Amino acid sequence: MTLAAVQTPDSTPLAVPPALAKLWARGSEFLGCPIVLMGGAMTWVSERNLVSAISNAGGFGVIACGSMTPELLDREIKATQALTSKPFGVNLITLHPMLLQLADVCAANNVTHVVLAGGIPPAEAIKRVKDSGAKLMCFAPALVLAKRFIKLGADAIVIEGSEAGGHIGPVSTSVLAQEILPVIRDVPVFVAGGIARGETIVSYLDLGASGVQMGTRFVCASECIAHPKFKQAFIRANARDAMPSIQLDKRFPVIPVRAIVNKGVEEFMEKQRQVIVKFDAGELNAVSAQLEIEHFWAGALRRAVIDGDVEHGSLMAGQSVGMVTKEQPVATIFAELLEQATHTLAARISL
């Protein structure tokens, strides 16, 4: 099998089989990168260093704006541009109170791709992204929403299953792929959630995906700034350790978040119990009770990722965490994934 070379910053060629290049050609053209592996937007993790490393290695890095102010996002984009000349995107949360200003920051910095996640994006946010000339990507947890986002102007769709880390929906990646990929053909669709090997990447491309997104696998990249203790928690964990948060009382909704279980998770369960008791006793009204529950995790992700508090911080991770076994440079991770994909494609030829 003839292989095409992709140059990484240290001039080490990564072999991309033409058969794989053909499978993800649509995604490659859309993102402007030769290796159609998007980096998942992970708050505090997907910043300038990891994003630029992914793009420089031939993939597509995505800055996680999270709760950044417009000023902070502006600095982060400029810092990333100083580290790479390759395309990268910015992920904006639709519920951010300054969403429109953040979209303007992306436009001012000529960001080529903007990802809107976390809900149905406001019409004005879509307009500002489209008017800037950037390509708009939206997360769709169901077929009906994928169709709606396309009508609203989305240039591409990302489907992410419940195996993913962080905030998750109720449907698995494999089911979403079967539901959406055969139907949505007019825009590229990227698949995310529980992906950690090249063989799996090929399987989703076969189903019609234009590429994939991976987050958990890149947490232990050498270029990732996450605290060593945070990375060790990933390396030690297996798939069963990454569990969604549990809601104890339907009166007080808890948005499901998949994370490695630690003392913080146990304390969150106890916090819910205490709040429910106070509410039933008339010591808290419904609004105050809900706020106490929601505020429990405030700052918890930063404490884990940046400060290394892996006991009480939030260890957001996908179920693919069991396949993260060591710290590696991004280029090495890419090389492994491409080798696995190559073997899968080569086996077809030998049949």
Residue 281 lies in a domain: yes
Residues 181, 301: one domain?
A: no
Residues 97, 122: one domain?
A: yes
Residues 178, 96: one domain?
A: yes
Asked if residue 111 has pLDDT above 70, the reply is: yes
Over residues 265-319, the pLDDT tens digits come to 999 999 999 999 999 999 999 999 999 998 888 899 999 999 999 999 999 999 9
Domain that holds residue 18: 4-226+325-350
Residue 155 lies in a domain: yes
Asked if residue 78 has pLDDT above 50, the reply is: yes
Determine the Cα–Cα distance for residues 210 and 189; give it in Å rounded to an integer: 6
Q: How many CB atoms within 10 Å of residue 84?
A: 18
> In the predicted model, what is the mean pLDDT of residues 50-79?
97
Asked if residue 146 has pLDDT above 50, the reply is: yes
Residues 26, 117: one domain?
A: yes
Residue 233 lies in a domain: no
Number of folded domains in the chain? Answer: 2
Determine the Cα–Cα distance for residues 37 and 40; give it in Å rounded to an integer: 9
Residues 283, 148: one domain?
A: no
pLDDT class of 351 with cuts at 50, 70, 90: low
Residues 279, 338: one domain?
A: no
Asked if residue 344 has pLDDT above 80, the reply is: yes
Residues 124, 221: one domain?
A: yes
Residue 63 lies in a domain: yes
Residues 182, 289: one domain?
A: no
Q: Are 158 and 192 in contact (CB under 8 A)?
A: yes
* CATH code, 341: 3.20.20.70
Over residues 11-42, the pLDDT tens digits come to 455 878 899 999 999 999 999 999 999 999 99
Residues 16, 154: one domain?
A: yes
Percent of the chain at pLDDT exceeding 90: 90
